[in-house]
Amino acid sequence: MSGVFITFEGGDGAGKSTQAELLEAWLEARGRAVLRTREPGGTPLGSRLRELLLHGGEEIGEVAPRAEALLYAADRAQHVARLVRPALDRGDVVVQDRYIDSSLAYQGAGRVLELAEVRRISEWAAGGLWPQLTVLLDLDPAAGVERRRARGGAADRLEAERGAFHEAVRRGFLALADADPTRYLVLDATRPVQDLHRDVTARVSELLEA
């Protein structure tokens, strides 16, 4: 594997898509081939799973936490096999919105599933692939709700969860970052977009030069 794998994590409204888009443009301006993608939904199968998981509504009813974790793992297995690993083998930079850490935070901390089990399922689905860098955009969940409302549109199934769920997810992400400081870059998502972008590109520059 000769490429570079970078993921963005954080709660809803933290600005992951914005920072991923800015990083993609920055990398391409420097001549790097980039695959920008997301979980769930990076493949045709993943798009179907995303629609069920986030917008299924009455059609599928309440999703059991273990079923939810397995569906995210199924999306991840297809995504890594069909998109991420081939891109890395080509030497591309993969810039991805959400990955294994989201499963650990949302299904592990949020749904209160055994963290070790969620990690084992996720690692198996991904064939043991982890990113070299994970950017965590940390934001108070209440601020995330305000940002989503300002954008407009209905909340998806996870966004509509109670505040306690999102607080648990935030604590889960911060605990993951504390446990793996070499891989993580934790940024305050309330800071200006361009300031965050500068911090991201500074860290990515170090990664590309290593």
pLDDT in tens, 61-75: 788 999 999 999 999
Q: Which helix (H) or strand (E) holds 206?
A: helix 193-209
The annotation status of 3 as a binding-site residue, yes or no, is no
Average pLDDT across the chain, whole number: 93
The annotation status of 13 as a binding-site residue, yes or no, is yes
Q: Which helix (H) or strand (E) holds 133?
A: strand 133-138
CATH of the domain at 68: 3.40.50.300
pLDDT grade for 1, boundaries at 50, 70 and 90 = low
Residue 83's alpha-carbon distances to 1, 38, 87, 113, 167, in angstroms, are 13, 11, 6, 28, 32
The annotation status of 17 as a binding-site residue, yes or no, is yes
**What is the pTM assigned to this prediction?**
0.94
Range of the domain at 131: 4-209
The annotation status of 195 as a binding-site residue, yes or no, is no
pLDDT grade for 60, boundaries at 50, 70 and 90 = confident
The annotation status of 110 as a binding-site residue, yes or no, is no
The domain total for the chain is 1
